[in-house]
Amino acid sequence: MTPVELSRTVLCAVRRAVDRGELGVSVPASVAVGPPGPGGCGDYASNIALRLAGQARRPAPEVAEILRPHIERDPGVAEVTVTGPGFLNITLAGGASAGLVGQVLEQGTRYGHGDTLAGQLVELRVPRDTRAETVADALVRIVATQGGRAEVRHAEPVNLRPVPAPEDPAPLGHDACRWALLHPAPHDRPRIGADHLLQRESNPLFRVRYAHARTRALSRNAAALGYSRDSHMEMDRGSTGASDVLVALAEYPHALRLAARDRAPDRVARQLVVTADAVLGFQHAVLPLGDEKPSAAHRARLALAEAAGTVLAGGLSLLGISAPEHL
């Protein structure tokens, strides 16, 4: 079960509870799911009970207990636990990670695309400023991932005015220039300096591009060892770092939706950094060590690494930044 499918499952649970008279609320248009927070458990969590508590005039834990059995009816769900002030913590049945990895590999760089802005025209009126124009350029592609269409104009009144760069970023070169302007939040002043060119882990752009290059190198090295990925194999979450990579992949579609809605490409950039850091912590578990023979677990880990590489390449492309195979 993918995050999108789980979101629909929770939404259907709300609808069933309303239809049966168990909850007197309006069924929301959508339900968000994400990784469990502190004190949570399972694979995903939802705050839908907290959202509905006021309208239902019931405590959030009580609303969550009403929804719990409806969610557990889905064969893709193994267990639902209510924690804290009313969070629904959902443990998926077997095959969850394979389903997510398979979805990423099947959809390629279109993974995370949706229809939340379907049919909508987003008008971006920007000043004649390098950063504003760069942000608008990235937003044209990001809005398109959600089914919308963005048009950029230099017109008043301006509705997209990120804090300008303190100096000309062009000397950094195309990729580092764009990262320097897109990675900070629009209300933050971007740093323009040679640190964006450093080939070391202190540079977030380097980490993202290096992690992508590592996923490609892992595929080449696996081929040299005579094996390829298996995206149908359930991931062993005990594998070092595997869970972090899975969570990062699951969060990527949400980051795209927020970036399109809030006109904030920095959300995509920051999610790429999270994904890259997860990959760099996981990469050492992908290939067999020493005389170890490639196993089904190695094939599953390779599939996960390749899926992460796909997300990194897709996200960089949306920002207008290249994703080299070698670095």
Instruction: Give the number of other CB atoms < 10 A from CB of residue 131.
Output: 23
Answer yes or no: is pLDDT of 227 > 90.
yes
Answer yes or no: is pLDDT of 96 > 70.
no
Percent of the chain with pLDDT over 90: 77
Rg (CA), the chain: 21
Confidence (pLDDT) at 95? 66
- Relative to beta strand 87-92, strand 77-83 is antiparallel
| H or E stretch covering 123 | strand 121-125
Answer yes or no: is pLDDT of 41 > 90.
no
Confidence (pLDDT) at 238? 54
Separation between Cα atoms, residue 118 and residue 171, nearest integer Å: 38
Confidence (pLDDT) at 236? 65
Confidence (pLDDT) at 83? 94
Lowest mean pLDDT segment, chosen from 34-38, 234-238, 290-294, 304-308 = 234-238
Q: 31: closest CA among 67, 76, 69, 80?
A: 67
Answer yes or no: is pLDDT of 237 > 60.
no
Higher-confidence position of 93 and 174: 174
